[in-house]
Amino acid sequence: MSEQKEIINTLPLGLAAFALSLFSLSLYFAGVIPMEELGSILPLLFLYGGLGLVVTGIFELRNNNAFVSTAFFSYGAFWLFFAAQQFYIGTGQIELGASAAAATAWVLVAWGIFSFYMWFVTFKVNWAIWFLFLTLWIGLFMLAAANFGVAGLAIPGGWVLLICSLSGWYTSAALLINEAYGKTILPLGTG
């Protein structure tokens, strides 16, 4: 006799962790908060964004959800990387060289490519997730271009990522509210 496992809906948690972390960091990219204050959000990026998304990704592996587990685990690893990198830079344990902007640009290109091909899967999910990934890859490529020296793209890229974070919060809220009420209160659109 096989034991049936219970499916745990971790999507609202993962989206909330992603959205809050991205919102906080995007305020710096958009020029709302000075970059010198970045260290104040590193624990948030590490604990909620990084660990929260990695744990969510692991639960989604258990649920046999390849798209969600890949997305959450990957972006959780990104937040862990970014928080650790900024911590070591801030404490002087890592020195940035003359090509730091180009290296950062290539990292953002890589994440833009990942987000772009993940976006194609979202056509089968719903329009809320589709919009989230659309704004994510566009914002990442804008920040990459800014780091390659294209003038005038860093702040708009930050604003695009702020919109992305708001769409993540909307989607998280819609999933929770719709589940609690047993009907569609906040629409997600069909995939």
Q: What integer pLDDT is reported at residue 191 of this predicted model?
A: 53
Give the phi and the psi of residue 142 in degrees, each rounded to 5.
-65, -45
pLDDT tens-place string over residues 78-105 = 999 988 888 877 677 777 777 778 888 9
**11-181: what fold?**
1.25.40
pTM: 0.91
Q: What integer pLDDT is reported at residue 171 of this predicted model?
A: 97
Residues of the chain where predicted confidence (pLDDT) is lower than 70: 1-7, 90, 191
Domains of the chain, residue spans? 11-181
